[in-house]
Structure 1
Amino acid sequence: MSDRGLKAMAGKRKAKFGHFVVEFATPGIGHILKSAGCDFVLFDLEHSGFGFETVKSALRYFEAADLPVIVRAPSKEYHHIARACDMGAEGVMLPMVSGAKEARHILDCMKYTPDGKRGVALQVAHDRYRPGAVSDKFKAANARTTLFCQIETAEGVKNADEMARMDGVDCLWVGHFDLSVSLGIPGQFDNPKFLKAIDTVANATAKHGKSLGRLVPNVETGIELSSRWGFDFICYSGDVWVLHNALQEAVTKLRAGCKGKKK
């Protein structure tokens, strides 16, 4: 397994930087993000509208660029989780994981026996269509698949320690907007109630040696989260917003600079 793989990354609290893809699953996207310096990609199925045909193609683009991918499945249903793994997702993220029981269900969907109950599909996308001994395939797949549990509810915060304690749970990922809604303080990220929740999750990951992740809207927030709480999977913004903001800034400056100019 490559030292650049998600499992290896999750085993070290050194900061890793990625980008959120919700719109542009184009053939060049992997190489573009790799050239930009990304360590990983978060590929969204929850809100993007992407289907598994798109996932199967996009994962090949990222493989070509040697860029590890976390696929956020649209639900905790078996067919969504196992299919993401079959398509070749190295990491799987699940929204609104509330406790150890749900985390165990997810692991059962992701892992082959003896670590889980995933249905067998070999010499397909996830093992790059290579033949091999069944026992070796199971072992390799189980070692590779990496679980990111999103903490997006008050219940998830309450049970953060029991989830971080579990073998197979590699990272607790704070879904900040949904968590603030669950806490009754939508968008109030400086509210003491929200900050206390982050303390709880961060303490759980530090105690059990697990990674801590979050999407950040800007550089300043990423730096603060890293220094204050030890967030190490830092996903910088998303493709839609980066393009929009950069283009808006440039067009606004062009419009102001060219105003009144005559030939």
Structure 2
Amino acid sequence: MKLVPNLCRQRLAEGGLALGFGVHHLRGSAVGMIGQAAGFDWLFIDMEHGAMSVDDASRIAIAALGQGITPIVRVCKDALFEGTRCLDNGAMGIVVPHVDTAEEAEAVVRAYRFPPTGDRSWGAPPFAYGMAPVNAAQAQAELNADILVVCMIETPQAVANAEAIAAVPGVDVLMFGTSDLTATMGIPGQIGHPDVRAAYATVGAACAAHGKVMGMGGVYDEKVAPDYIALGARFILGGSDHAFLMAGATQRAGFLRGLAPKRA
């Protein structure tokens, strides 16, 4: 049985933008189909801020494997063990928030890569192979090469350590959590601030130097986002389910209200 292709990784390898669809409130097997139909490349299944269990995340991820979109799960920094369960049950990548040092990045890699790169445990044949029997050695090597490991940059300390974090073998993406970065900088919400722009430039240079990809989350302003993409951001969180729903529903309600007959 062949490994389900990591379409997000393929998009990045081609030099393109990999667009993420944030999943906070949606549940069930249709989530990936919705994201793929809307033009996204990967699901950002959020267990840090979404009220979601491993079971919820895994159901979405397993369905997404056959829907042409890559399921990636964000876990809490102090719950790395939940990420290994998600990887065993459909996820093709893990995002870890608040990674501030190379040592923390190394711990993330150990959790999510099989030996000799890491310490991830081998369980039953994973969903990434359609549950078919596999050669363990071959499958572990293939998964080590295909799973995306993403460390989030959310503090000035992380920006200062970007070069060391990017140098850690097994880390694929350094992704900005721009909202939290502005908060820790003392400029909450100012995503276009010169200090934030400087941080993107610093991390972008570190990623370029070590063959890693820079990611962008928390930037949905159509004036600022192009600037950070120009600095090298390619793993892009495009928005979240509730924001998409609110935008579409608000536009539709406004249109229909505008058709109401005028009263004399």
TM-score by length of 2: 0.91
Equivalent residues of 2:4, 2:129 under 8 A apart: no
4+ long deviations beyond 6 Å: none
CA distance in 2, matches of 1:32, 1:130: 27
SS in 1 for 2:208: helix
Identity of aligned residues (%): 26
SS in 2 for 1:117: coil
CA distance in 2, matches of 1:78, 1:224: 32
CA distance in 2, matches of 1:224, 1:246: 26
Task: Name which of 177, 183, 188 aligns with 1:175.
Answer: 177
Equivalent residues of 1:222, 1:236 under 8 A apart: no
Task: Name which of 100, 107, 110 aligns with 1:108.
Answer: 110
Is it true that 1:37 corresponds to 2:67 in the alignment? no
* Offset at residue 220 of structure 1 (A): 4.4
Is it true that 1:217 corresponds to 2:214 in the alignment? no
Equivalent residues of 1:214, 1:234 under 8 A apart: yes
TM-score by length of 1: 0.91
Equivalent residues of 2:71, 2:93 under 8 A apart: yes
CA distance in 1, matches of 2:205, 2:257: 49
* Offset at residue 8 of structure 1 (A): 3.1
Q: 1:79 matched to which residue of 2?
A: 81
Is it true that 1:141 corresponds to 2:143 in the alignment? yes
Residue 258 of structure 1 aligns with an amino acid whose one-letter code is A
CA distance in 1, matches of 2:62, 2:221: 29
Deviates more, 1:48-57 or 1:245-254: 245-254
CA distance in 2, matches of 1:83, 1:41: 17
- Residues paired across the two proteins, number: 261
Equivalent residues of 2:7, 2:41 under 8 A apart: no
Equivalent residues of 1:112, 1:142 under 8 A apart: yes
Q: 1:64 matched to which residue of 2?
A: 66
Q: 1:40-83: CA deviations, max 9, x gaps?
A: 11111101111011112111221120211211012343412211
Gaps spanning 5+ residues in structure 1: where?
A: none
Gaps spanning 5+ residues in structure 2: where?
A: none
Equivalent residues of 1:62, 1:69 under 8 A apart: yes
Q: How does 1:1-263 map to 2 (within 5 A)?
A: 5-215=7-217, 216-227=219-230, 229-260=231-262
